Amino acid sequence: MDCIFCKIVNKEIPAYILYEDAYSIAFLDINPSNKGHSLFIPKKHFERLSEMDNEYIRNFYGGFNKFLRLFEDRISKDYNIIANNGKKAGQAIFHAHIHIIPQYEDDGYKK
């Protein structure tokens, strides 16, 4: 399958990886809205978040919480969490992912 995020999971293309476990991986967005803009994704290919099975849901969101703690320690305490699901919602990469966008100043919401 020609999926850029599967290629990142399989280390076929490089990414700056911040977190990894058996189910998930987090890495820096190549075109960040802010410094430290990260993506948290399941290692298995699901097109959208709602497609994940129960085993995945448990482990993915467990890992997500661990990653958020790491993100708060290393990148920023303040951030937005966004997930685009479907073309009309702005999803461009059809491998489920969550954006974590750090906010450094009280300068409003930068998507």
Hey, which residues are catalytic here? 97
Question: Three-state DSSP class for 66?
Answer: helix
Options 6, 28, 49, 57; binder of Zn ion; rule CB under 5 A: 6
The span from the CA of 14 to the CA of 48, in Å, is 23
Report in angstroms how near the CB of residue 85 gets to ligand 5GP at its nearest: 9
Site string for ligand 5GP, 53-82 (x = CB under 6 A): ------------------------------
Query: Which of Zn ion, ligand 5GP, none binds 45 (CB below 5-8 Å, type-dependent)?
Result: Zn ion
Query: Which of ligand 5GP, Zn ion, none binds 52 (CB below 5-8 Å, type-dependent)?
Result: none
Closest alpha carbon to 80 in 46, 108, 57? 108
Buried b (16+ CB within 10 A) or exposed e, 6-33: bebbeeeeebeebbeeebbbbbebeeeb
Residues in touch with Zn ion (CB under 5 A): 3, 5-6, 45, 95
